Each structure stands twice: as C-alpha cells, then as structure tokens.
Structure 1
Amino acid sequence: MRVTLLGTGDTTGTPTPGCECATCQAAVDRDVERTRFSIHVENEATGESLLVDTSPDVRYQLLRDEVALPDAIVITHIHFDHLDGLGNAYRLFESLPVYAANETDPTTGESVAETIDRKYDYLDRIDVCPQPPLEPFETCGFTVTLLPVEHPPFLCYGLTIKDETGAKLSITGDTNFAIPDATRDQLADPDLLLADAIVPARLCEHHPLGGRHENDAGVPRTVGTKHMTMEGALSLAEELNAARTRLVHISHFPMPEEAFGEHAAVDGERYVL
C-alpha cells in the first residue's frame, strides 16, 4: 500500500491564519504546512484508493498532492476537522461508500454513521455503510477495522488497514492515552503508526484541564482529556512495537524545534508499506 499524509494538523492547521508565532513563521520559511486531518491509502494491487477522514481542506489536499480520488471513505468521528470536507463529494462521484461506526453515542444519541447520514442527506451519491467496531470489513482490497479510542465527549475510533501482502497501517485517531486494551492489541505491530500528538508534555501546565496518564517519570501522556502529548504518542508507539511512527494532528503551539522534530509529520509525506 502507498500512504500519503494529506493533512497532519489540528483544528486550525499550521500556519494558523492570523498567527505570527515562531512555529507558524517557521512553517512559512520551510515551505511546509499542516492542514486538517486526512490520509490517502492506495492499494497498488487493485488500483483503488481509500480516504481516512474528510478534512475541510480535502479538495486542496487532493489537488496539491496529486492523488487519485478515493473509491471509498472511512470516517473516524464527527468533529468538523475530520468530517466536514465530505461535502466536496458533491458532483465528484457517481457512487461513494462511506464507512463509519454503528455504535450509538450516548452524547448525541446517534452513531457516527447515523450522524453522517443525517447531516449529508442531500448527497444522494454517497452510501453510508455502518460498521460494528472491532469487526473487520473489506473495502478497496483492504481489510479495515474500526477501533474504539478515548476522545471525550464523543465516541471516536482509530483503525487498522491491512493489505494482501500483510502490510499494516495503524492510525490512533484522535485520542488520549487511555486507549482500551482491545484496541491496543489490534493496533500493535504496525509497519507504520500515525499517532495523535497535539503538543509536548511541557504545555500541559497551560491547559485548563492540565494533563494526565503520567508515566513513571511523571511526564503527562495526555493533555486535557482529548489528545496525547508527543511524549505520550511515542510511548504508545514503543508499546505497540511500531516499525515506524509519524506524529500527526500537531498544533502550532510547540516551538519550531518540537513542531518539526524527528518524528513530527508534515503534509505530503508518502510511505510505501
């Protein structure tokens, strides 16, 4: 499989509009960016492509990185920076399956699949395909499994994507460090791990909710309640025995040396697994 990181940023992206911080300026100087989250996965054996999440920036991303239009989409959760680009399906597709979890969210009273179906009922060319978490399904020649993670207050899912060669991509989804054991077991031993890592642990003290899930050295692996710190994501990668790890969903709050460090992904990176 060929993996293209279309969007590796958080809700505002980097550079953030109107921001003159050192990290946003460094992104401009380096000619790199982090738009909102989307991942393109091509099955070279079948010629099909799968898109994970539909960033509000997805039209631009598809053009910029010159990847094929997807043959199917997987949506991890209903936050706008992962879903609202789905409106771009209008007039681009004759038919497009959209896979999402069928588990009812107690906060919304709907599953992710039901929210998509309701919100985009005007898109008669998409076909919402509800899927039970932790049960594999087939699309684009891949075996895909949606995996529950922790991103309160809404239900959210990571996923694994495997091809016929045995190559495995694991995506944590938006999550704190308290990922359920059943999900950790499924995420383990990937050829490539894309791990949510919004800020370094040192910034937890500035968050109104601080940080939790400290390691033995007292370093927070969760910031607030919703996301992992960079240290937490790398700790998870070690636990999962990831062959390669790229940190995604990074904000513009880290300093440039952190934001563009060894493991920090930027848009347009490509990997062949």
Structure 2
Amino acid sequence: MDVTLLGTGDTTGTPTPGCDCDTCERAAELGVERSRFSVHVRNERTGESLLVDASPDFRQQFLARDVPLPDAAVVTHIHFDHLDGLGHVYRLLDRLPVYAADETDPQTDESVAETVRRRYDYLDQVEVLPRTPFEPIETCGFEVTLVPVDHPPLHCYGLAIEDPETGAKLSISGDTTYDIGEASRAVLDDPDLLLADGIVPAEYCEHHPAGGAHFDDDGLARTFGTKHMTVEGAQALGADLNADETRVVHVSHFLDADRAFDDPLAVDGERFEL
C-alpha cells in the first residue's frame, strides 16, 4: 500500500491567499504547502488507485505528485473542501466509481451519497455507489470500511483501508472531534498509519467561542470548538488506537510559525509504504 498525502490543510489551506501571517510566510520560505485535504492510496499488487476525498485542488495536486489518476474514490462528507474536486473528472476519466455513506442526514434530508449524486448529476463519469457504514467495501484490491465520526452539524465519516493480502492498514479519522464512538474506534484500531484531523494546538481553544472540549486528565483540550480535534487530540487518538505512526492533517494556518511544520504535523507530498 503506497500512501501519498495530496492535501493536508483545512478549508483555506496554507499558505492562505491574501494572508501575510508568519506561518503563511514561513510556508512560502520553506517551499511547503498544505492544500485542501485529499489522500491517494495505490495498491502495488493490482496497479489500482483509490482517492479519499476530492479536493478543490485536485488538478494541482495531481500535477505536483507522481501518482496515477484514481480508479475509484471515497467521499467522507459534503463540505466543499472534501468534495468539489469531483468536477475535475470531466475529460480526465471515462468513469469514476465514488463510494459514500447511505445514511440520511437530518440536516440535509439526504445521505452523503445522494448529495454527491445530485451535485454531480451533470457528469456521466461520476458513478455514485451508496454504502452502509460498518459494512466493508471491496475496491482497488482493498477492503474499505466507512465509520461515523463527530463533525456537527453534518454527518461525517472516517474510514479504514486494509490490504487483505499484506495486512497493511491505513486509518483516517475524517473531520471530527475527539468524541468518536467505540464501534468506530474498533474499526480504526491498530493501523500502520493514522491520518488524524488536528486543526490547531490546544492552547488556541481560548480563541474559539465554544472553547475546548474532551479534556484529558491534565486539563488539555482534545477538541477545538465543536468540529475538529486539536493537535494534541489527534495525537491522543493515535495513542488510543495503537497506531504505529500518526500524522496530523487538516491543519490550519493558525499556528505559531516556529512550530507549524514540526512533527507530527503533515505537509503535502508525504509518502508512506505500508
């Protein structure tokens, strides 16, 4: 399993357009980027590739990284920074199966799959395949399982990708707070690599109207506001799940420039062989 982090940033990415903060300037100096979230997973045995979330930066991500176009995709939720890259399928691919959860979201009265189908009904190449969370999907030679996580007010999903031949396992938290249910954690458990949502350090919770939540024994917030984990929460999730390695993704530019690119904070282009 060859994993390439195409996009490791939040909604605006880093550098953020029009921003002259120290972190954005440091990113430019270092020549690193955190574009909107997306992960490429290639199966060396079958030669097939799976895309997790379709970033609006799809075109530039695939131009910048030496990876093939996807044979299938999974969409975790309907926020634009995880979905709107599907428009790039036009004239690039003859067909793209897109797997998404089939549970109806009371906020939208649609499932993720139904929303994707409605928004991309003008593209014959996008074939939406609804799937039930916790029921494994076989695609690209992998076994993929969607699991509910906590990203209010919308339904959102994490996922585990496993190679049944080699035993390699990648887990992705999806956009979520630390409050992931036990059944979902059981599916995500014991990965070779965990990609965990961590938008800012815990100390930044004082700047959020909702503060922080899900505090550890030392009073450190593992959730920032109501939708995302802190960097510390992402690392704690990795420890909870016995991950061999945890990389923090969906990182914002609201970090101290001197620490913004330290481990375990991921940047675009990182590759892992599992």
- In structure 2, the residue matched to 1:128 is 128
Matched residue SS, 1:265? coil
Say if 1:98 and 1:128, in contact at 8 Å, map to a contact too: yes
- Check conservation: 1:194, 1:248, Cα contact below 8 A: yes
3-state DSSP class of the match of 1:258?
A: coil
Structure 2 unmatched runs, 5+ = none
Counterpart amino acid of 1:92? Answer: L
Map 1:232-243; keep pairs closer than 5 Å.
232-243=233-244
Partner of 2:97: 97
What TM-score do you get using the length of structure 2 for normalisation? 0.99
User: How many residue pairs align between the two structures?
Assistant: 273
Instruction: Check if 1:269 corresponds to 2:260.
Output: no
Residue identity matched to 1:121: D
> Whole-Å Cα distance in 1 between the matches of residues 15 and 250 of structure 2?
13
SS of residue in 2 equivalent to 1:259: coil
The 3-state SS of whatever aligns with 1:108 is: coil
Counterpart in the other structure of 2:76:
76
* Residue identity matched to 1:241: N
Deviation at 1:258, TM superposition (A): 2.6
Determine helix, strand or coil for the equivalent of 1:60: helix
AA aligned to 1:54 is A
Provide the rounded CA distance (Å) in 2 between the counterparts of 1:235 and 1:100: 27
Task: Give the corresponding residue for 1:201.
Answer: 202
Corresponding residue of 1:41 = 41
Q: Which runs of 4+ in 1 moved over 6 A?
A: none
The within-5 A match list for 1:173-212 is 173-212=174-213
CA distance in 1, matches of 2:181, 2:48: 31
Q: Secondary structure, in 3 states, of the residue corresponding to 1:241?
A: coil
Matches within 5 A, 1:100-249: 100-163=100-163, 164-249=165-250
RMSD of equivalent CA atoms: 0.6
Residue-by-residue CA offset, 1:85-142 (whole Å, 9 max, x unaligned): 1000111111110000000001000000000000100011111000000110100000
Q: In the aligned structure 2, how far is the partner of 1:231 from the partner of 1:259?
A: 13
What SS does the aligned partner of 1:127 have? strand
Task: Report the 3-state secondary structure (helix = DSSP H, G, I; strand = E; otherwise coil) of the residue aligned with 2:76.
Answer: coil
Provide structure 1 residue ranges, at least 5 long, that are not aligned to the other structure.
none
**Following the alignment from structure 2 to structure 1, what is the Cα–Cα distance between the partners of residues 181 and 16?**
33
